[in-house]
Amino acid sequence: MKRLYAILPGLVLSMSLSSIAVAEEARGVERMGEGTVDAVTSPGQIVEGVSSETEDKGAAGVVTGTAKGTVDAAGQAAQGAIDVGRGAVETVLDPITGQ
């Protein structure tokens, strides 16, 4: 019985540390998923830009909306790529570094 009491705290600690590592890994995978969604849906920013600028400026809005939408799409795609990369690094390194 004394051995059980001696082992129990270590067992509880190891179980809690493993659950923290799993939670950290899940956060990295979630960030990768969000980044992928941003990268995939970024072309929709062009359509959205054209639509909103055409409403405001008429036919000239097609040109300005395309430019505005392209800039927005590039920003969203870049942020998505950063999130995918950061999530991948977190997924691999967080369990190793213990962060």
Q: What pLDDT, in 10s, does the model give residues 35-65?
A: 888 888 888 888 888 998 898 888 888 888 8
First to last CA, the chain: 35
Check residue 37 and give its pLDDT: 86
Q: What pLDDT, in 10s, does the model give residues 13-31?
A: 455 444 445 555 677 788 8
Longest CA–CA separation in the chain, Å: 83
Check residue 87 and give its pLDDT: 87
- The residue extents of the domains of the chain are 2-97
